[in-house]
Structure 1
């Protein structure tokens, strides 16, 4: 039974510009017809007045429930949380309850009543915690990944365009968006321009940006001339296509500036006194896990927020969407139980990158994490590579949960020694 069963409850169906509010009495009846409020100062003040009137009438504190709807609910939640008890519900919970009636009725008033009923009668999980600075840090990290993805899209576009107008250019440079390559394309955007360029000037340009010496610059120059001659012979010769190349380069450089700005702001915010010392400590604890980089540590920690909201490692597994989806009916049991992918997408992406790094070796041949590498090699033989990586991600979730709960840095231990220590601690009498 919900702890709000005997209290008046408020259900709010939030949209972009307005919200619809429903208030239930302590005995579950509709207190008044659902009403609409605009997302402005007058609308928010009117809502507060109506909730306070209900509290005075019943001489009880209300409980307010709303869905997590992207960013639309944040201003309203932030406005109400210091005055009332406000609970944020996962939309998956409310969606499962909106189809309870036989009649197919779907509108904002009905949804607001459904949310109020869920909060009043069902013992569901909800969140009441919101830290503005952690939310800001999470938003900055998510924007970083979005901009990085967009930059990758335009890098592929540049490669595609060059294959049309400059077919062999991709064989000259291993990274066509490197400093040397971009400098050449900006100065000499067509094969003809490269062929007509002064040799010494072109070699100097290559040497200045590559910083690899005269021999490398002359070798690259020869490859570039060969590619330009071939492009003149087989490439398309439309001036407008070269404009596409220059525009794409400008977009890539713009993304690089924005990504740099985001990284600077992330580090400035993390180092500021606006972020709690406990959160900073947790970031350092995650960074102690082999394979976890600084930005990855910040990303994962900002997605988790407060580890106190997770009682078991399995809860963290579900939050990252790594729990298996189950399909069973009668005697049928599906053998294709894929990940649910219902949790934090960016957190799962960061964790996947850590899993890849954990089973690699350094340039000296030393494993990043010898325990996970041995586990991957010994237990994942004959299995799909992605299945093995998901198993590694599960292991990493246990590491993350352990270091955050115990507030101790990661210690690399042999599994047999770790099991022996666990059994010894378990056999000790309670104090």
Structure 2
């Protein structure tokens, strides 16, 4: 019993882009009201609030749940919380399990799914949800934006290389960094062998000298012209490929400038919110901000293994029930952003040869693959991160060497 005046009611909301559906069940699993569709709008939210207020004697007798479907759930979640409702977010995997248990059709039906969400809550298969304060949400938005910008740049660079492979296959031997300032200055001016040969050597030398701050000049210009003269690049559609490369380089420069602006805001944000994460070796401002913002309020998690599970780096269990943390694949059922950040943080530990490196070496000596050992380091790193954030104490290098910690993070 929940100890309230009236019977407990569980309301489930199936989330979509344009319309949502809300339905409810009581504490005995009986339908509490007919499901209702409402628009993803201010008016629709008001209809939802009116529906929910009619379900129970008081808001303390009502629990509202919704699936974390993309980003569409956030506005409604915030609205209902502001209205004083107790709202939780349900992992879609949980409702899928409930659907199988109930023997429902594999085809998703909004009117059925909202009740399945309610039933999932009634069975207690959920965890409390906290969005965190506004500054934490802003940091999360910034770190995700930064990651998207970096991925965009990487994609643009792949396109440049693809074009160069066609029109100027020898180009990767000219500069040590295809996307360094000198190389980009060259590509903006004459990305094809034909264009390069059409420019005077002293003019090209001037372009290189300016971009390299005097490190490159006539000698490099002559070298490039010699390579261009013997290029085996194709001679068809070179005008279009040249135009494409120039545009792509401009886009790379623009997005990289944007990424730098975002980085400045992230550095400022992590220093204000949780600078202690930066005391852990291998975790800089950007990575630290991503880890902290994706974890959110550390009070959401009762232990480090809970964060491991949230990140989806906990080992899966085979259908037979046999379990081995080293032999099984990770679940990948948690936050992909946090999982990626922890993986990168683990790689940083290896580069710096921190105490985690010995743990990695031990796993490799035990026959584990590089990836398996790195995931094991990620799990161990979570225990250190949890200790730093929950205790509000700087990183203790001795903790990373602790046998007790090693056994807990297996």
Quick check: TM above 0.5?
yes
Q: Tell me by how many angstroms 1:3 deviates.
A: 8.3
**Helix, strand or coil at the partner of 1:413:** helix
Matches for 1:4-19 after TM superposition, within 5 Å: 6-19=7-20
Query: CA, structure 1 residues 334+199, in 2 after alignment: closer, same or farther (shift >3 Å)?
Result: closer
TM-score by length of 2: 0.88
After superposition, what is the alpha-carbon deviation per residue over 1:134-159, rounded to whole angstroms, capped at 9, x for unaligned?
A: 22321221121122122112212211
Q: Offset of 1:35 from its aligned partner? A: 1.2
Deviation at 1:116, TM superposition (A): 1.7
Mapping of 1:5-84 within 5 angstroms?
A: 6-25=7-26, 27-56=28-57, 61-82=61-82, 83-84=84-85
C-alpha displacement at 1:413, in angstroms?
Answer: 2.7
Give the structure 1 partner of residue 244 of structure 2: 244
Give the TM-score normalised by structure 1: 0.84
- RMSD between aligned alpha carbons? 3.0
Q: Is the 8 A contact 2:166 2:233 kept in 1?
A: no
Which of 117, 120, 137 is matched with 1:118 structurally?
120
Q: Which residue number corresponds to residue 208 of structure 1? A: 210
Give a deviation string over 1:222-248, Cα, whole Å, max 9, x none. Answer: 3211221112x5542432222222232
CA distance in structure 1 between the aligned counterparts of 2:258 and 2:300, rounded to whole angstroms: 33
C-alpha distance in structure 2 between counterparts of 1:124 and 1:143, whole Å? 29
Q: Is the 8 A contact 2:128 2:300 kept in 1?
A: no
Residue among 379, 386, 408 paired with 1:394? 379
Give yes or no for contact 1:319–1:343 (8 Å, CA) kept in 2. yes
How is 1:368-383 mapped onto 2 (pairs within 5 angstroms)? 368-381=352-365, 382-383=367-368
Cα deviation code 1:164-207 (max 9, x no counterpart): 11121110012111111111111223323322323222222212
- Cα deviation per residue 1:80-130 (whole Å; 9 max; x = unaligned)? 102211122111111110223345374211111111222234353231444
1: CA distance, partners of 2:229 / 2:398 = 59
Corresponding residue SS for 2:54: helix
Partner of 2:263: 263
**For 2:279 and 2:17, how far apart are their aligned partners in 1?**
41
Aligned match of 1:413? 398
SS across alignment from 1:340 = coil
CA distance in 2, matches of 1:63, 1:377: 48
Q: Matched residues in 2 for 1:357 and 1:421: separation?
A: 19
1:52-84 Cα offsets, whole Å, 9 max, x none, are 23334x796322121111211111111110221
- Mapped to 2, the partners of 1:184 and 1:140 lie a distance apart of 33
| Rg comparison, structure with higher value | 1
Residue 388 of structure 2 corresponds to which residue in structure 1? 403
SS in 2 for 1:81: helix
Question: Aligned residue for 1:127?
Answer: 129
- Once residues 409 and 125 of structure 1 are traced to their aligned partners in structure 2, the CA distance between those partners, rounded to angstroms, is 28
Out of 128, 139, 143, the residue aligned to residue 141 of structure 1 is: 143
Change (3 A) 1:137 1:160: same
Deviations 1:333-377 (A, max 9, x none): 9985111111221222222222222112xxxxxxx2442233333
Q: How far 1:42 moved relative to its partner?
A: 1.9
Counterpart position of 1:426: none
Contact 1:6 1:27 in 2 (8 A): no
Return the match for 2:161 from 140, 159, 162.
159
Residue matched to 1:187: 189
Tell me if structure 2 keeps the 8 A contact 1:165–1:236: yes
Structure 1, unpaired ranges of 5+: 272-276, 361-367, 423-431
CA distance in 1, matches of 2:337, 2:71: 16
- What CA distance in whole angstroms lies between the structure 2 residues aligned with 1:62 and 1:268? 40
Deviation at 1:28, TM superposition (A): 4.2
1:171 equivalent in structure 2: 173
> Paired residue for 1:425?
none
Range with greater deviation from structure 2 (200-209 or 323-332) = 323-332
Change (3 A) 1:421 1:91: closer
Q: Secondary structure at the match of 2:146?
A: helix
Q: What are the Cα deviations for residues 306-338 of structure 1, in whole angstroms up to 9, with x where unaligned? A: 111222221121122111112142889998511
- The alpha-carbon distance between structure 1 residues 192 and 73, as it changes in their structure 2 partners (threshold 3 A), is same
**Match for residue 274 of structure 1?**
none
CA distance in 1, matches of 2:325, 2:380: 24
Greater shift in the superposed pair: 375-384 or 162-171: 375-384
Q: For 1:366-390, what per-residue CA distance to the aligned partner results, in whole angstroms no more than 9, with x for missing partners?
A: xx24422333334423532222212
Cα drift, residue 20 of structure 1: 1.1
Which sections of structure 2, spanning at least 5 residues, go unmatched? none
> How many aligned positions are there?
401
- Match of 2:55, SS? helix
Partner in structure 1 of residue 101 of structure 2? 100
